[in-house]
Amino acid sequence: MKYLHTMIRVNQLQESIDFYTSVLEMKLVSLTDYPEGEFTLAFVSYGTSKDDPCIELTYNYGKHSYELGNAFGHIALATDDIQRTCENVRRAGGKITREPGPMKHGTTVIAFIEDPNGYKIELIERK
């Protein structure tokens, strides 16, 4: 078994691609439109292909709003300098929803940001 990707539905595809590639510095490794199915799939990754762990951004034609629900938690990303990462996210126009600090009942330093669709992304400092 191998972890491949996590799929999230997005409201505006280009806005989401811009967030993940510009703010989080991921690479767009695949973009495929399926006109007959009325959807487009964009895969972003810190790797170089869809063989690396990815986030699949799914845009369904004409659908511009989703309920996030209460079952999905967050996407987690490791960073070696959480302060610098948060500064870069803020400078790029990203939304920080929890400033860097120790997690509740622990010592691991975390922060939370939010993508344009409202999905939470946890940053975890790993030196």
Which residues are catalytic, by number? 122
Cα–Cα distance between 81 and 6 in angstroms, integer? Answer: 25
Cα–Cα distance between 63 and 99 in angstroms, integer? Answer: 32
Taking the alpha carbons at both ends of the chain, their separation in whole angstroms is 28
Cα–Cα distance between 13 and 35 in angstroms, integer? Answer: 15
